[in-house]
Amino acid sequence: MYRLYTHNDLDGIGCGIVAKLAFGDQVKIFYNSVQSLDRQIERFFEEKKETEQLIISDLSINEENTKRVEEYVQKGGNAVLIDHHKTALHFNEYDWAKVEVEYEDGRLTSATSLLYEYLCEQQLLEPKPAIDQFVDLVRQWDTWEWDENETVDAKRLNDLFFMISMDEFEERMVTRLKENNAFSFDEFEGKLLAMEETKIERYIRRKRREMVQTFVGKHCTGIVYAESYHSELGNELGKESPHLDYITILNAGGRKISFRTIHDDIDVSEVAKKFDGGGHAKASGCQLTNEAFQLFVTKPFALAPLRMDASRNYLNHKESQNGSLYASPDDIQYFIYPTKENRWVVDSKDKVVDSFNSFEKAERFIKRKYAAWLLPDDQFVEYLAKRVIKQKQKESQKH
Ligand SMILES: [Mn+2]
């Protein structure tokens, strides 16, 4: 008998699926959260299942359990730990661990892809295209490589995972991968996924209209309240407002905060660490402590939501040679225009505020400092008309 202890996310259940394909009824699978794994492993050793082969994947064990596994292996027991997290690399000092973060060609690994390759190497599982494809979708989702590669099926696979129960997901995938030569969603799943996509899009649009912008320390952040779709929200809101350093997602009911960034030069695990949290450079989280509550809830509560740039303009365009008109929440207008020397000037109330060597920098400046947004055409026309009449009246005085 085999026992697999794995994570309860898509990469973790992917491990369960390839293990089922290899061992069938001969494997018992335990899906765990990061917090619950060590207790489960302890229980495994309490029960002293000496004849069972232990597999741990996508998660790390604590020091005591590491000692227990080492002792178990020394006494002739069978155990293997397969992981892809940087924080688990120290396990490689043990013969029974296989931690790999990146393949030689630069692609990032996942627990599912590493376990699949391990099972094939050990000739416990026969590789086939359908499994290759499924495993790579899980890998691309878990490493976020799908976003750049635009592998939408990776995201859809994760959506499906959240829509049906774990047992049903596992069973559906195992049957499909056994029977088919290529991986695909069936008609029912296709319909379900299309509905879910529309729902997520609408949810993100609504959240975008609720987002407030503020500085916390040296970083400019967009704050929203949301209980689900954190990855999608962090990604979409971050891309739409690249002037924000990171997106803060508050789950008040769960008393948790998530931080997400799309920028390579921002490390949100550092932000979370200030509030005793942690995570990765691009995705992290912490508890909603009293201090965090003050900074992310109480202080920004009075702020109006960040307005969206007008999107149906014919005249008031970004980076226009004729200038682009913005406004801030206190109704002050900002006009960005290019000089003949290729500088981009920020002008307000007919005074130069600052100038930059690119439009992006000028826009970033007014968006961060004044939470400004691009005005619709009618206000742009009104602004220009007022300037023309002022100019004409000035000229007529001279005559
Ligand atoms: Mn993983």
Instruction: Tell me how far the alpha carbon of residue 186 lies from the centroid of ligand 1, in angstroms.
Output: 25
CA 45/CA 61 separation, integer angstroms: 13
Asked if CATH classification 1.20.1550 holds for the domain at 210-302, the reply, yes or no, is: no
Q: What's the topology of domain 2-185? A: Rossmann fold (3.40.50)
Instruction: Tell me how far the alpha carbon of residue 276 lies from the centroid of ligand 1, in angstroms.
Output: 23
Count of other CB atoms within 10 angstroms of residue 218: 6
Using alpha carbons, select from 141, 138, 112, 144 the residue that is nearest to residue 125.
112
Instruction: Tell me how far the alpha carbon of residue 84 lies from the centroid of ligand 1, in angstroms.
Output: 7
The predicted structure's pLDDT at residue 49: 66
Instruction: Tell me how far the alpha carbon of residue 8 lies from the centroid of ligand 1, in angstroms.
Output: 10
Three-class SS state of 17: helix
Instruction: Tell me how far the alpha carbon of residue 282 lies from the centroid of ligand 1, in angstroms.
Output: 15
The predicted structure's pLDDT at residue 21: 98
Instruction: Tell me how far the alpha carbon of residue 142 lies from the centroid of ligand 1, in angstroms.
Output: 6
The predicted structure's pLDDT at residue 126: 97
Instruction: Tell me how far the alpha carbon of residue 18 lies from the centroid of ligand 1, in angstroms.
Output: 14
Contact status, residue 303 vs residue 212, Cβ threshold 8 Å: yes
3-state secondary structure 178-193: HHCCCCCCCHHHHHHH
The predicted structure's pLDDT at residue 235: 93
The predicted structure's pLDDT at residue 69: 96
CA 382/CA 69 separation, integer angstroms: 74
Instruction: Tell me how far the alpha carbon of residue 241 lies from the centroid of ligand 1, in angstroms.
Output: 28
- DSSP string for 269-297: HHHHHTTT-EE-SSEEEEE--HHHHIIII
Instruction: Tell me how far the alpha carbon of residue 224 lies from the centroid of ligand 1, in angstroms.
Output: 26
Which regions of the chain does DSSP assign to beta strands (E)?
Answer: 2-7, 27-32, 53-57, 78-83, 97-99, 212-216, 219-225, 246-251, 256-260, 278-279, 283-287, 324-327, 333-338, 344-348, 351-356, 373-374
Instruction: Tell me how far the alpha carbon of residue 302 lies from the centroid of ligand 1, in angstroms.
Output: 39
Contact status, residue 372 vs residue 366, Cβ threshold 8 Å: yes
CA 313/CA 376 separation, integer angstroms: 6
Using alpha carbons, select from 292, 261, 256, 258 the residue that is nearest to residue 274.
292
pLDDT tens across the length of the chain (399 residues): 999 999 999 999 999 999 999 999 999 999 998 889 999 999 999 987 678 899 999 999 999 999 999 999 999 999 999 999 888 999 999 999 999 999 999 999 999 999 999 999 999 999 999 999 999 999 999 998 998 899 999 999 999 999 999 999 999 999 999 999 999 999 999 999 999 999 999 999 999 999 999 999 999 999 999 998 998 999 999 999 999 999 999 999 999 999 999 999 999 999 999 999 887 888 899 999 999 999 999 999 999 999 999 999 999 999 999 999 999 999 999 999 999 999 999 999 999 999 999 999 999 999 999 999 999 999 999 999 999 999 999 999 877
CA 395/CA 87 separation, integer angstroms: 71
Using alpha carbons, select from 19, 87, 21, 15 the residue that is nearest to residue 53.
19
Rounded to the nearest 5 percent, the helix, strand and coil shares of the chain are 50, 20, 30
Comma-separated ranges of CATH 3.40.50 domains in the chain: 2-185
Comma-separated ranges of CATH 3.10.310 domains in the chain: 210-302
Query: CA-based angle 31:36:39, to the nearest 5?
Result: 110
Say which amino acid occupies 110: S
Both structure tokens of 208? 């975008």
Instruction: Tell me how far the alpha carbon of residue 6 lies from the centroid of ligand 1, in angstroms.
Output: 10
